[in-house]
Amino acid sequence: MLENKEPKKTSLEALGEFGLIDHLTQSFQLRQPSSLQGVGDDAAVLDFGGKKTVVSTDMLVEGVHFDLAYVPLKHLGYKSVMVNLSDIYAMNAVATQITISIAISNRFPLEAIEEFYEGVALACKLYNVDLVGGDTTSSTRGMIISVTALGAADEDALVYRHGAKPNDLLVVSGDLGGAYMGLQVLEREKEVFKVNPNSQPDLEPYAYIVERQLKPEARKDIVALLKNLEVQPTAMIDISDGLSSEILHLCKNSKVGCNVYEDKIPLDPMVISSCEEFQLDSTLVAMSGGEDYELLFTIDQREFPKIKGNPNLTVVGHMTEASEGAFLISRNNSKIPITAQGWNSFDQA
């Protein structure tokens, strides 16, 4: 009979801060020509050769942004990178480098942190970005992750939130609501497990929406697609806090209004069926769920023939004069004011 061996657990104390950094980053290779010096000196050295540099930072806190009861550490490492790369792509830029800082309590052995960095390494490889720095420190309350992403773009390619004009079309990539419904499934199975620890959840029927929550993909491909189609968005933002919140950000920054059509919002069949199962309104989930990391952007109406029929893109509405306000046009043609009901981390405190 085979013995069940306990997984190896190496104390972080033995390595120390710099030994831990060296250990975790020794296999990372520099892929970008702009990365002159990565991990191992007092600062990274980057050369973008005249392009404009784009920088974004996000923080993820255990118990607020993620629950290790059902989030594998490798997935968490991957997602931590995606969350930040998405902001770079929302500027119509190319992501090139990241830095990662983590604060961890002594309940995490070295092997757990290695697993986290495996996810980081996979994201770096698939998205062709370099890890060029970061920090590690101790935490008295779980795990805290801070990622900074850098990117580059020619000045005339950059897209901001403030460029939308009345009559521009509002376009979204992919489909919405999947990440939120994946979270509902995971939370439900967590409660079942708490009652019966021997219960093993069957997540296969929910594979798509669970993956949307645990392993989102930043839409690097949409930036490349728009370039190939010769479409220059007038304004753009990524959908992290929910469609309604992001629409209002575009409206506020561009000083415009908006009409969004309920029947145009792209929903995956699994999102629709899971909403029915949880007795949730699929439109509300799509508008307010968040964490989809799709791109929301506006284009001049004259650009419509270039994107017409593209399966990656859906026109969900159009921009109006600011005085007309921001509205959701329902299936029965009612006008419902759009309110920011997206996720707010300060509500979790």
Tell me the per-residue pLDDT of 235-279, one tens digit each, with 9 for 90 and over: 999 999 899 999 999 999 999 999 999 999 999 999 999 999 999
pLDDT: is 59 or 10 the higher one? Answer: 59
The pLDDT of residue 217 is above 50 = yes
> Strand, coil or helix: what is 180?
helix
C-alpha angle 77-59-107 in degrees, rounded to nearest 5: 60
Indicate the pLDDT class of residue 24, thresholds 50, 70 and 90. low
Closest CA to 238 of 93, 122, 348, 78: 93
Sheet (strand 94-104) strand order: 52-61, 144-153, 94-104, 130-138
Mean pLDDT of 320-326: 97
> Strand, coil or helix: what is 61?
strand
Mean pLDDT of 142-170: 94
Percentage, residues of the chain above pLDDT 70: 89
For residues 147 and 80, give the distance between their C-alpha atoms in angstroms, rounded to a whole number: 7
Name beta bridge partners: 146.
Answer: 59, 101
Mean pLDDT of 294-321: 98
Percentage, residues of the chain above pLDDT 90: 70
pTM: 0.88
Indicate the pLDDT class of residue 201, thresholds 50, 70 and 90. confident
Identify the sign of the CA torsion 153, 158, 161, 167: negative
CA atoms within 13 A on the CB side of 314: 16
Closest CA to 147 of 133, 168, 127: 133
> Strand, coil or helix: what is 349?
coil
Q: Which of 35-39, 187-191, 202-206, 218-222 has the highest mean pLDDT?
A: 218-222
Q: Which helix (H) or strand (E) holds 105?
A: none
Q: Domains of the chain (ranges plus CATH)?
A: 12-157 (3.30.1330.10), 169-347 (3.90.650.10)
The pLDDT of residue 16 is above 70 = no
For residues 7 and 129, give the distance between their C-alpha atoms in angstroms, rounded to a whole number: 31
Tell me the per-residue pLDDT of 171-188, one tens digit each, with 9 for 90 and over: 999 999 999 999 999 999
Does residue 183 contact residue 216 with C-beta atoms inside 8 Å?
no
Composition of the chain by helix, strand, coil, percent to 5: 40, 25, 35
Tell me the per-residue pLDDT of 29-84, one tens digit each, with 9 for 90 and over: 788 888 777 555 555 566 778 888 888 888 899 998 999 999 999 999 999 999 99
